[in-house]
Each structure stands twice: as structure tokens, then as C-alpha cells.
Chain A
Amino acid sequence: MDGSLKGNGGKTMARPRPQAINVTERAAERVKALLASRGKPSFGVRIGIRTKGCSGLSYTLEFADEKGPLDEMVEAHGVTLLIDPKATMFILGTEMDYVEEKLQSGFVFTNPNEKGRCGCGESFHV
């Protein structure tokens, strides 16, 4: 289950920098599929933050054509995610998942930093 080091795992990293966010496999699969259907090569997907919406902040997800100089990079299940420096503090330690509901589907971040959601769920206070 939990991947202990096997085989070529002997190539240890000096001091692995931990990932800023966790990405579920389901989310990664979906990102992969969307990147494939985008119709042009992408560097990955960038997670940003925007300070509008009814209670202050909301995440954005956009295709990224290149890595920004200050972007935090996360590799998970074979996909590359970039985190906008402005978003890093907010998103640190969250989990990105993909959910399918009856009428809609999309990505969701579970954020232990989050204090309150507005009714719409699109915005959050930190």
C-alpha cells in the first residue's frame, strides 16, 4: 500500500523538498485527460488565487504553457501542477481532489486552513 523503497529506490535524494499540496489519483487522472484534450502541448496546470468573490478569495485552475520563475512545482501521479506564489501560503497542505456529482463535476480543494466558506463554496476566508 504505502510505497516503501524498493528496487531502484537506492538513488536517494539529498533532502527531498516535500510537496506543497497533495493530489489524489483521481484528480491527477482527470488533469491528465484534460491536458490531453487541450489540443496543444502544456507544461501543466497552474493553481492560482483570486481575491474576488463574495467572501474574499477563490482558487483558479488554468492550463500553463510554461513555469513562472516563482511558481512552486508539484509532481503527482505523472502530472505537473504549478502553484502561483501568491497562492502558496493559502494552499499549503491542501488536498486537490476530483469529484463527480449528479449534475456537475470538477476539482475541489480540501483546505485545513480554511475558516469559513460563503454559501456558494467558491470563496473562502483564511
Chain B
Amino acid sequence: MTEAAGGDSGAPHACWSCHGPITAAALFCHVCGAVQPPRPLDAFARLGFPGRFEVDAAEIDKRYRGLQQRLHPDRFTKRSPRERAIAESQAMSLNDAYETLKDPLKRAALLLERAGRSSPIGENRTIQDPALLMEAMEVREALAAATDLAAVEAIGKRAAAEDRRCIEALGAAFGAGELDKASRQLTALKYWRKLAEEIRGRRAAIAHGAG
């Protein structure tokens, strides 16, 4: 069963606990107060944001915390194990939505998915863009050759700048509805993120004196 984001929320449901009628969108049963299982919503719909690349980070935090404060299993320590388990799955869904919306990479991937495109950053995907491929090899070699912190820092600065550039480009591409472009930028962003991870590993290795 698939459900369009935000849609169908007016249809009545039966509460799992008291079987009372409730709307599908209700987090709690208004008859018995029991927390309801999470609905199959994507991250935008779960936190109540429109499906746009630009998001208000502070507002994401605010809504996430507000919802966790009501749904987290720690709020249900006196309830039945079943209700606690439901609260746990609610908290898991919220955490997943939060991580997706906060991260430009995951957010962009979700937007492409919403538009019916397969994610360019899934498993076993190789870089198709020849220019990016060249750049990737070049930077990797530089990183491997770097023996002091300063050299690693320089590459790190470049990666951070590219990261920002990709995010800006993603915003522009989604804004203009250019999904192919967005897809390419997303691949590039994924690559720079992975490199940033390697840069950190290299820096730690040098700092710990492992060369």
C-alpha cells in the first residue's frame, strides 16, 4: 500500500488499542490517548515540510524536537510493552526523517526519488562523469602523497569548498527543475563527502604519528 505524502489523512481508522475511530493522521487516539503507529510517510511529509531542496534548518530542529518530546519511548515508560514498541517505531521514523531532511545529500536523493528518478548515489554506482572522475583521481593522489598536516588541510579546504559549491548548485538545479543537473551535482557531492572522510582518516593517522 502506498500513500501519497500528506494525502488520505482524513480517512477514519480504528485505534489499535481501543478500536475507537480516529483520523489516519492522528498521532494519538483521541478516545484512549494511545500513541498510534507511524504512517508510511517520507521525510518531508513526516515533518510537515514541502518537497523543496531549500529548508529552514532551525525549523527542522524545532519540529523534530517537538515531535520527539511527544513520541519518544521514554515518554511511555508506564505504558504497555506494545505501546512502548509503537513509540519506539515512531521515534525511529522521526530520526530517519530528521537525518534525511538535515542532510543536503539525502534530501536531494529523496527529491529525485519523489520525481520518479533512481538515486544516483545508491550502492554499486560508479562515477559516470568523466570530468569528475579525473578530478577524483587527481585529488586522491594528492592526498596519498601528503605527509604533513598542512598539505592535508589544504586538500580538506578544497573539499569543503567543493561541498558548499555542490549544495548551492543543487539548490539552483532543483529551483529550475533541472533534474539531470541535480543528479550530476548529487554524484559530485557524494564523492566530496567520501573524500572528506578519507581526509579525516589521513589527518588522524598523521596526528597519531603513523605517518
Contact = CB atoms under 8 A, between A and B. Distances in A.
Within the complex, are A and B direct neighbours (CB within 8 Å)? yes
Interface of A: 37, 39
Secondary structure type dominating chain B contacts:
loop
Interface string B19-62: 01000000000011000000000000000000000000000000
Contacts of B31: 37
A37 B21 CA distance: 12
A39 B15 CA distance: 14
Contacts, number: 5
Contacts of A39: 18
Nearest to B70: A103
Contacts of B18: 37, 39
B30 to A, nearest CB: 10
Contacts of A37: 18, 20, 31-32
A-B interface, 5 closest residue pairs, ranked by CB to CB distance from nearest: A37-B31, A37-B32, A39-B18, A37-B18, A37-B20
B111 to A, nearest CB: 36
A37 B34 CA distance: 14
A37 B18 CA distance: 9
B156 to A, nearest CB: 45
Contacts of B20: 37
5 contacts: A37-B18, A37-B20, A37-B31, A37-B32, A39-B18
B26 to A, nearest CB: 16
A62 B195 CA distance: 62
A37 B15 CA distance: 14
A114 to B, nearest CB: 24
Contacts of B32: 37
A37 B32 CA distance: 8
B66 to A, nearest CB: 12
A42 B173 CA distance: 64
A39 B20 CA distance: 10
Nearest to B32: A37
Nearest to A37: B31
A86 B131 CA distance: 84
B34 to A, nearest CB: 12
B75 to A, nearest CB: 9
A101 to B, nearest CB: 15
A39 B18 CA distance: 9
A121 to B, nearest CB: 15
A57 B32 CA distance: 28
A110 B157 CA distance: 65
A37 B29 CA distance: 12
A37 B19 CA distance: 12
A60 B5 CA distance: 44
Nearest to B31: A37
A40 B210 CA distance: 73
A37 B30 CA distance: 11
